Chains A and B, each alone.
Chain A
Amino acid sequence: MTDVLRHLYFLLIVRPVILVVIGLNVRRSNLLPDQGPAVVVANHNSHLDTMVLMTLFGMRRLKDVHPVAAADHFLRNRLMAWFSTKIIGIIPLEREIKGVRRDPLAGICQALDEGKILILFPEGSRGAPEIREAFKTGIAHIAKRHPEVPFTPVFMHGLGRSLPKGEGILVPFFCDVFIGQAIGWTGKKDSFMQAIADAMSALEAEKEIPRWETS
């Protein structure tokens, strides 16, 4: 039942909004992983980011695609938890773990073992719109445990203008989505993080972007 609702939600609401109201300029969508286990790492500007990436995978791959999202935010009440896990299909991530009680990456690793395609925003939170922050090293720990899994870097621009943090009104802007070559575990945390960061910078540099004026 929830699978049907999930399908309808993406087919009738998410896709029309993303493809018609927003509109995407996608470069190299063929580089997206066709099947799991795989991880997509993207910069994070807006709640729309997840919807755009899931739209890119099309309805055919929808059942395999799951965004990783903060448990403290998306599971904060029962309705939200149901919507997040059943309709959006998030894999909850415990962001703040005081002391070492549980393995925070357990959910992610299990999903990869099941052959899922995960969407990760390693900046941690949406932050200031359209300003890219350094990726947190959590992805290196995932890559180390799953050295066979490809990490596909995706740079997105425009969504932070459409629906920035703290705004409830969507204002349409075309969104750029640039997809890079997948990167595998390099054997070392530093070099892996550097490879991902370089790939993201190269994707960001592909287009002259009209900078947001800070005021």
Chain B
Amino acid sequence: MFSHLSTEIHLTFAAIAALLLLANAILVLRRRSVPDRDDTELSLRVRTWWIIVASFAAVLAVSRTTAVVFFAFTSFLAFKEFLSLIPTRRADHRVLFWAYLAIPLQYLWVGTAWFGMFIIFIPVYMFIWLPTRMVLIGETKGFLRAIGTVQWGLMTTVFSLSHAAMLLFIQPGGSARVAAVWADESAKASGGAALLVFLVLLTQFNDVAQFCWGKTVGKRKVIPKVSPGKTVGGLIGGVASTVALAGLVGPWLTFLDLPRSLIAGLIIGVSGFAGDVSISALKRDLGVKDSGSTLPGHGGVLDRVDSLTYTAPLFFHFIYYCYG
């Protein structure tokens, strides 16, 4: 069952598991040293990390289609969370139904590797059909806001996230701009899966790195009105850590060479920050702390995939440009 994944992917998951064990060990030590400190949130967060990592590894191990379905379900949860947060018009009940229908369709294009349809279905067909359906209802009051919010939600939670799943189908083309560098012959069978693991690992690592650097260094705030915890020092430290890890992991895990790995790390570091603060801005606008409560310790699914909604399409198109 695991045979189609490369040794490097197996080792990466083993390393992540080791890191999580370390986190658990630190939590235990903290509880021993300062018994009355409240680490509930943190230990919940680590426990949820275990579940996320285990599910991700399991669906990758089963089959590519399973992984696509997993991402489709993630998109569904994130989109549902988004719609539950924002004000919607009562009249748009059926419009929202159509918007939900875009999820299975978009992931059908992914699952069948129909790149042409995958890339235009939401930004062209859905973006024409949804306002048309909305117009047919005949309610013009609040039209712009209603269609704007639904389309932005669909774009981030479905279109963007589906790029992560589409990575599974990437094979370096014959006339690629950059030659693919394979660690070994066996890695060729799971080149796409390695890219997906690389993207998700670095995006989540970037979140953690930004948080840790923000806590320890830097005074000047980047955007205090949106996210008071984000400092210039934290941003630079976070991006630098992500670039460093990308340079370390990329050439070994994926078919990217060192320069491409570093650029990918830079793209993920910067856009991950942008995705994170965009969802922060949305939540601040609506006056909520978390987007939901699906993932204990993390908040909602949207809170966890916010960075990924920005890193996935940018990383995908960078790869597609270099190797497609």
Contacts and interface: CB of A to CB of B under 8 A. Distances in A.
Interface residues on A, range: 10 to 19
B292 A167 contact: no
A67 interface: no
Interface in B80-124: 80-81, 83-91, 93-94, 96-97, 100
B93 A214 contact: no
B301 to A, nearest CB: 10
Contacts of A124: none
A25 B293 CA distance: 6
A173 B286 contact: no
B84 A173 contact: yes
B81 A171 contact: no
A37 interface: no
* Chain B residues touching A, range: 20 to 34
B32 interface: no
Nearest to A173: B84
Grouping DSSP codes into helix (H, G, I), strand (E, B) and loop, the B interface class, with mixed when no group exceeds half, is helix
B7 interface: no
Given A172-B80, A210-B286, A215 B85 contact: no
A174 B93 CA distance: 15
A20 to B, nearest CB: 9
A182 B301 CA distance: 32
Interface in B212-268: none
Given A169-B97, A212-B89, 4 more contacts: A169-B94, A208-B286, A213-B141, A215-B139
B77 interface: yes
B28 interface: no
Interface string B288-323: 100011100000000000000000000000000000
Contact of A158 (B84, B91, B293): B84
